[in-house]
Structure 1
């Protein structure tokens, strides 16, 4: 069956610039940015099947937005008005809530709560919460980061990444780490097995049997793990673990260890 050849989709300079702006602007909705990419790909001469394969979309989706653009140009890429009650919060009020959330803090508090923002912006608590959810804002959450002050940080990162990505020939690369203070726990009573109509059951309390320290080395090429538990977490135990690695690796291979020296037993 012959493939139907679609008429070329031609863009003016203004339309091409506007579509490219939609794909790069941070505030553009993802759906609208995707439609702009579809039209730009079609304008390069691609048929619907080719554009769909390139962007990982269904052929009918590409055809839909090609037709919408040909009929109504850029305006055709926007969603049609939906049925139902009209919006009660306009874009200006939504933008005001977002800007206040990102660029200010309430008095006598470290971050905005939905109630505080509702009072400050004149919106309801539920409206503020919907705006925050829509734009992925979570003022109550805080994460940490750390910048290295090591002047050789970049060179060291390249060495480590190079070992992972392209291990040397006749060598083995092991990622080594440890987990200390692992509690050895056991239930105070034997577990009762599952029965028809009744799940397996176990007692709520447990008996402590001290702690153990796990040393492990991951072979990044094969996924094999060399591991050993010790009763104490000292340099002596770590040295024993290195001897175990040496014994487990064939003698003809060089050994490269990647490990975090912070908190290493001494």
Structure 2
């Protein structure tokens, strides 16, 4: 006799319910949890079993059974999270949806983005209510981020090449992320820095005295996190050639050297090409244009800036260079490699999503 399990609740959808579920599942303003529940119910409504739905959507069959049962009992209202103990809601779902739609799909007259005050005036809600709705749905109209799309015709090939070096580096080879942090300024404050005290942060003047600049050439070992660094007062192909010679000296002779660089002109001059031809174990891999995020040494430069340069006080270039060398030495005593987790396909798929959003925006 076959094993008896729990009986499956049949899900029969009306046309209105199916339309609403499809709209909630596709709309960008829906939370990810609600969108998943809608897809579960839609699949159940098509006659799929809990196991089939779970396999298709990547969730456990028990989760499918839970939302199948909730929908059968309470219909669309059953897909919304149960209210927590407290006062009854005074703002309906329709008014919440109105705030979200206005925030995402319109702008107020005479302004580029909504504020809590302007949204409250437009919807008849209080500023605190608008603020709570925005926090709940992760909306931040006052913030803006920037991006730059690469125009490199070899973008896909270069992404696959570099990500391949990160995820599957060649044997008997060293992968180094190389770049220059140029024009690092030695800045001294116009008055002494006042140290931090209980209840009071460190204080410093907003103006400063310039003491000159330096350039840091750095090569980050992808496998170990160790950094080879060299400082120069100028930033030319001649200095980059000296840095390549430094790398050649420090890397054991039996290893091939793969360098990940950007498209800066100093990396491609005839002098550099001649040097590379004379050192065949060196292989250059260039990031696509406007894609410095592919070079892991940029992340390391960010740490150097955050922990040493930004709040440092340097009366001269010499003291600045001394502190940078000391920081590199300290880093190499306990290096920490950056773990790359995204495959090339995942990166390209996400970029495709951005491009689709741009296309759908109507601009």
User: TM-score surpassing 0.5?
Assistant: yes
Verify: 1:180 aligned to 2:182, yes or no.
yes
Contact 1:181 1:211 survives alignment (8 Å): yes
Q: Which has the higher helix share?
A: 2
**Contact 1:23–1:37 (CA under 8 A) maintained in structure 2:** no
For residues 245 and 4 of structure 2, what CA distance do their matches in structure 1 show? 69
Shift of 1:245: 0.7
Q: Which moved more, 1:224-233 or 1:83-92?
A: 83-92
Q: Does 1:113 align with 2:120?
A: no
Runs of 5+ unmatched residues, structure 1: 46-53
- Counterparts of 1:179-198 in structure 2, within 5 Å, are 179-184=181-186
5 Å matches for 1:29-178?
A: 29=31, 43-44=50-51, 72=73, 79-178=81-180
Q: CA offset at residue 21 of structure 1?
A: 7.0
In structure 2, what is the equivalent of residue 243 of structure 1?
A: 245
1:227, CA displacement in angstroms?
A: 0.9
Check 1:157–1:55 CA distance in 2 against 1; reply closer, same or farther (3 A cut).
same
- Mapped contact 1:22–1:33 kept (Cα < 8 A): no
Distance 1:6 1:211, change over 3 A: farther
Bigger CA radius of gyration: 1
Partner Cα separation in structure 2 for residue 99 and residue 203 of structure 1 = 43
TM-score in terms of structure 2 length? 0.52
Cα displacement (A) at 1:184: 3.7
Q: Alpha-carbon deviation of 1:131?
A: 1.4
Residues 246-257 of structure 1 mapped to structure 2, 5 A cutoff: 246-257=248-259
Listed one character per residue, the Cα deviations across residues 123-165 of structure 1 (whole Å, up to 9, x for unaligned) are 2222211111111111121112222222221112111111222
CA positional deviation for 1:246: 1.0
Number of residue pairs matched?
244
**CA distance in structure 2 between the partners assigned to 1:104 and 1:203 by the alignment:** 41
* Gap runs ≥5 in structure 2: 53-57, 270-363
Corresponding residue for 1:258? 260
Q: Which of 1 and 2 has higher RCO (CA within 8 Å, sep 6+)?
A: 2
Q: Is the contact between residue 22 and residue 32 of structure 1 (CA under 8 Å) also seen in structure 2?
A: no
Runs ≥4 residues deviating over 4 A: 20-40, 68-83, 185-192, 201-209, 263-266
Task: Quote the offset at 1:174 in angstroms.
Answer: 0.8
2:297 corresponds to: none
CA offset at residue 73 of structure 1?
7.7
